């Protein structure tokens, strides 16, 4: 038969094992929460760093394209100035064609060359 002592001991053991299981479950839940939080933080960092690097690449590409077009325009302006100074009007036509092509390219790229360093008069065939 069961004695009172035996019943109390069984209840105590059952309660202790239940508390141990709850502690394990709480520890597992804490580890899972910290892992999910860390993973979420990593995803946020990756998204933000990707957006920043994409913005930097876009800005650098845009500025590089602008300065390349400005450089091309300055070279063409020098060519036109040389042709005018030396009365070489026969060479004006190809330069004018190149200038128009540069304008078309700038228009297609949606660049506003007048905003680059405030130089609005560097392209003669506007």
List the chain pLDDT tens, one digit each, 126 residues.
557 777 777 776 776 666 666 666 666 667 777 778 888 888 888 888 888 888 787 777 777 777 777 777 777 777 777 777 777 666 556 666 777 777 777 666 655 544 444 444 444 444
121 is a domain residue: no
**Nearest-angstrom CA–CA distance, 66 and 45:** 31
Structural domain count of the chain: 1
**What is the extent of the structural domain holding 76?**
4-115
**Prediction pTM value:** 0.36
49 is a domain residue: yes
| Nearest C-alpha neighbor of 96 from the set 67, 124, 54 | 124
**Nearest-angstrom CA–CA distance, 27 and 73:** 68
pLDDT at position 48: 86
125 is a domain residue: no
């Amino acid at each position: 038969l069961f004695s009172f002592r035996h019943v109390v001991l069984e209840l105590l053991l059952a309660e202790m094992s239940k508390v141990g299981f709850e502690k394990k479950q709480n520890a597992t839940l804490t580890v899972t929460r910290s892992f999910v939080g860390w993973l979420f933080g990593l995803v946020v960092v990756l998204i933000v760093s990707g957006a920043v690097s994409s913005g930097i690449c876009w800005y650098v590409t845009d500025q590089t394209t602008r300065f390349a077009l400005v450089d091309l325009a300055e070279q063409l302006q020098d060519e036109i100035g040389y042709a005018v100074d030396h009365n070489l009007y026969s060479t004006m036509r190809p330069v004018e064609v190149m200038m128009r092509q540069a304008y078309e390219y700038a228009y297609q790229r949606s660049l506003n060359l007048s905003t680059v360093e405030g130089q609005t008069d560097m392209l003669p065939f506007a």
